[in-house]
Structure 1
Amino acid sequence: MEERIDLMKMNDSYRLNNQENGLSSTLKRGFDIVFSIIGLVPATPIVLVTTLAIMVESPGNPFYLQKRLGLLGIEFKVIKLRSMRLDAEKNGAKWADKNDDRITKVGHFIRKTRIDELPQLINVLKGDMSIIGPRPERKVFVDEFSKEIPNFPKRMEVKPGLTGWAQVNGGYDISPEEKLELDLYYIKNKSLKMDLAILLKTVGIVLTGEGAR
């Protein structure tokens, strides 16, 4: 089993390692800027080819902007490649599950390899996100899950990430509780060594698709 926080053992006094001093914060931001610029070079042709594949299978805009909650609940627009049909939310917002029939064939591939997240390197460059951190969620889901899972908002005590502990160990189809357990483990134990391990595993998933659940 992946290393995670047991939600049943948490209480209001449970402390996370969410404080960063000036130096570590500066280094992390510097890393984010450098990596996002370097990452955009190989990402650009991959994204261009993928946009064509998306448009062939499901005509329409291959990109979409979606409001997400970032650090301390501040809202921003995340940039993604579209992995679902254009009418995916005709009946309202819905949490994606393992066998979601709204996901296109191309969508399944780009989700497995994380290619759909590559445009968010722009969000990282802008400072909305970090390379490593909990994935930002939509307000409608944060509000819903916070009613059932009291500590869910703690995920927003650090800047959201392009990839993270929950992404490389859980994937897209895990429950909100599982996501929180993994994200809180990262926040409590985050370090440069852990960030590098997550980054290397993410690169492996993007290149091979292996390791993604």
Structure 2
Amino acid sequence: MIWKRIFDVCLALTGIILFAPLFIIIAVMIRVDSKGGVFYIQRRVGRFGVDFSLFKFRTMYTDSDRGGLLTIGFHDYRITPTGYWLRKYKLDELPQLFNILIGDMSFVGPRPEVRKYVELYTPYQQRVLTIKPGITDWASIHYFNENELLAHAEEPEKLYVSKIIPSKINYNLSYIDQHDLWTDVKIIYQTIKRVVKK
């Protein structure tokens, strides 16, 4: 949809310009806090099942993802001190503004998953791959405290696969069936509201 792409590009450019000073501050904090690069790049599954590189500010110690793809709570031992605050206020997601400019993502759309979990989708659930993934969506708002849910679960990955993923997909399929510019604006507003409240 042309309106969605124009909306995404304009908002992404505005965000990059406005947050440029914050980008620099965060980059310095990450470098001072722990060894490693400023950015964390992970392969995610995008529209039509095509992999792309998703950008984030690094919030974990280098090579921590070898210990598992799920982050269990905000006090996961792999998270750096700076990473704790970045995750708490979702600031680690800011580099995805560049993913939007590139065209891999949209502001609003299903959060992109790693290939491991996408392989578990049923044919019906795979319909979430028919639109671009986004920085936020209804599911992200509903599961804003997902890390805490996983931290209190006896089997975090089992909970994620059997309960959380299907629930998120249901939210996303509902969005696919009924979305317009006003819906995107509402989702962005609700996301900002949750972050500020946090």
TM-score by length of 1: 0.76
Match of 2:137 among 158, 164, 182: 164
- Please name the residue that 2:175 is paired with: 186
Partner Cα distance (1:153, 1:183) in 2: 11
Closer, same or farther: CA 134–48 of 1 in aligned 2, 3 Å:
same
Which structure 1 residue ranges, 4+ long, deviate > 6 Å from structure 2?
A: none
Partner Cα distance (1:59, 1:205) in 2: 31
Preserved contact between residue 70 and residue 159 of structure 1 (Cα < 8 Å): yes
Give CA deviations for 1:164-199 in whole Å, capped at 9, x if unaligned. Answer: 111122124362233223222322332222111111
Segments of structure 1 that go 5 or more residues without pairing to the other structure are 1-24
Closer, same or farther: CA 151–104 of 1 in aligned 2, 3 Å:
farther
Segments of structure 2 that go 5 or more residues without pairing to the other structure are 150-163
Deviation at 1:103, TM superposition (A): 2.2
Partner Cα distance (1:66, 1:87) in 2: 12
- Please name the residue that 1:130 is paired with: 106
Match of 1:82 among 58, 61, 70: 58
TM-score by length of 2: 0.82
1:29 aligns with 2:18: no
Worse overlay, 179-188 or 60-69:
179-188
Preserved contact between residue 163 and residue 202 of structure 1 (Cα < 8 Å): yes
Q: Percent identity?
A: 34
Bigger relative contact order (CA 8 A; separation at least 6)? 1
Deviation at 1:150, TM superposition (A): 5.6
- Please name the residue that 2:152 is paired with: none
Match of 1:196 among 179, 185, 195: 185
Question: After the TM superposition, which residues 149-160 of structure 1 pair with which residues of structure 2 at under 5 Å, given as runs?
Answer: 151-160=124-133
How many matched pairs?
A: 181
> SS of the counterpart of 1:156?
helix
Root-mean-square deviation (CA), in Å? 2.0
Partner Cα distance (2:166, 2:80) in 1: 26
Partner Cα distance (1:197, 1:49) in 2: 29
- Please name the residue that 1:106 is paired with: 82
Deviation at 1:121, TM superposition (A): 0.7
Write the letter of the residue equivalent to 1:184: L
